[in-house]
Amino acid sequence: MSSILLKSRSLGVLLIHGFTSSPEQMLPFAQELNKYGITCLLPRLSGHENLPDSLANVKAEDWLQDAEKGFKQLRTEVEHVVIAGHSLGGTLALYLAQHYSKEDGLVAAGVINPAVRLTPEQRRAITFGRFYEKKLDISMKPFQALKKTIDSVRNDLKHVRVPVIIFASSEDELIPHAYQQWLFDRLRATKFFITLPQEGHSPSPEAAEVIIKTFLVLVDTLL
């Protein structure tokens, strides 16, 4: 299910939430962008309907399809689309940027602390977690799907076809700031890098204001 806030027929923003989150995470961004006459679509990713149980059987392919479905749905409403996402949502934004271009109506991708690499500790936790699924009565499938999604997008970064705006928190406790610099260095498309000082993985309301204002200025230059 998706929520759409209609305004403009010219520009729309696809706002994709993060892992274990919901469209409500991106709603403040949508409401603010709506004030500027921008149409916003907030899809709910598969497996995020009734957390945590609904995540048990989700696959990486489900999330990739969700992203494509959201883009195509929004494209029927507006002429130009910008994709924005947080964490896993940022990963999916990069996936779309690898498969669509300006000719398809995609203008740019704005990513907030995107998950493009897992730390060695995170990879070990997912690998060893498989052996403890029954013992601990937890499913590692959603984490395996997360890893597969990240690895797939990371291995195809050279094919990103539109400008990318990276917002990176300096104190991100899940994805090191250095990983965002690593992403920036590997993108061949036009790119912008904005550090959010003293911010963690989920930006504060104050940081969200900075993100929105910067986002609007940069998108305006790209249209």
Q: Cα–Cα distances in Å, from 175 out to 70, 90, 119, 155, 218?
A: 25, 12, 8, 17, 24
Asked if 16 and 67 touch (Cβ cutoff 8 Å), the reply is: yes
| 62 phi and psi angles, rounded to 5 deg | -60, -45
Strand-pairing partners, residue 56, are none
166 pLDDT tier (thresholds 50, 70, 90): very high
Q: How far is CA 49 from CA 18, 31, 44, 45, 137, in A?
A: 13, 22, 7, 8, 21
Cβ-based burial of 136 (10 A; exposed 0-12, middle 13-18, buried ≥19): exposed
Tokens 């050279």 belong to: 158
Residue range 108-156, pLDDT digits in tens: 999 999 999 988 888 888 776 665 555 445 677 888 899 999 999 999 9
Q: List beta partners, residue 82.
A: 13, 108
In the prediction, which pLDDT does 124 show? Answer: 81
For residues 57 and 175, the model is more confident at: 175
pLDDT of residue 147: 92
Section 158-175 average pLDDT: 96
Task: Look over the chain and give the mean of its residue pLDDT values, rounded to a whole number.
Answer: 90
Mean pLDDT of 172-190: 96
Q: Please identify which residue in the block is written with the tokens 């924005």.
A: 84
DSSP 78-99: -SEEEEEEETHHHHHHHHHHHH
* pTM exceeding the 0.85 threshold for the entire prediction: yes
